[in-house]
């Protein structure tokens, strides 16, 4: 899975906020930016190719849903960075050393609650 561009993030924000599968027109209507229908259609096709969205036929049109939650997608991207570094341990240790106090608190709470085991 690759990173997301600016328009891809806007489209994913719409899909992550949706309670149901959306057609291209519905995604277009929910974006905060004036975009062309074909632009949204292309972005959704690219996101499908990258594995970020699932699509299914509804009549003659496709309906799109996020393949995973925003949090799951973020975790997947972090994992890809870790594994692409060649030295996962060093990257994790460097992150731990450079973590903000808030990030450190989150990690400590998660460890205490057993969420990281």
pLDDT digits (tens, 9 = 90+) for 39-90: 999 999 999 999 999 999 999 999 999 999 999 998 888 888 888 888 888 8
Angle at which helix 70-84 crosses helix 88-98, to 10 degrees, equals: 120
Average pLDDT value over all residues in the chain = 91
Say which CATH number the domain at 46 has: 1.10.10.10
Dihedral of the alpha carbons of 105, 108, 112, 113, in degrees to the nearest 10: 60
* 68 in Cβ contact with 32 (< 8 Å): no
**Number of structural domains found in the chain:** 2
Are residues 34 and 53 part of one domain? yes
Spatial CA neighbour of 11 closest among 58, 50, 61 = 50
Instruction: Write down the pLDDT at residue 1.
Output: 41
The verdict on residue 1 lying in a domain is no
Residue 55: inside a domain: yes
Domain boundary among 29, 45, 66: 66
Q: 81 and 40 in one domain?
A: no
When pLDDT is cut at 50, 70 and 90, the band that residue 114 belongs to is confident
Residue at a domain's end among 66, 84, 99: 66
Residue of higher predicted confidence among 32 and 66: 66
Please state the pTM of the whole predicted model: 0.79
Please indicate, yes or no, whether residues 54 and 77 belong to a single structural domain of this protein.
no
> What number is the average pLDDT over the span 10-36?
95
- Quote the domain boundaries for residue 86: 70-112
Domain co-membership, 36 together with 22? yes
For 64, the enclosing helix (H) or strand (E) is strand 61-66
């Amino acid at each position: 899975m690759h990173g997301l561009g600016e328009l891809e993030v806007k489209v994913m924000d719409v899909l992550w906020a949706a309670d149901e599968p959306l057609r291209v027109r519905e995604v277009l209507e929910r974006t905060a930016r004036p975009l062309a229908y074909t632009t949204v259609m292309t972005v959704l096709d690219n996101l499908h190719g990258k594995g970020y969205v699932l699509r299914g036929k509804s009549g003659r049109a496709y309906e799109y849903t996020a393949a995973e939650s925003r949090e799951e997608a973020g975790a997947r991207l972090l994992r890809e960075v870790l594994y692409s570094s060649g030295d996962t341990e060093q990257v994790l240790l460097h992150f731990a050393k450079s973590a903000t106090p808030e990030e450190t608190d989150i990690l400590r709470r998660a460890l205490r609650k057993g969420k990281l085991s």
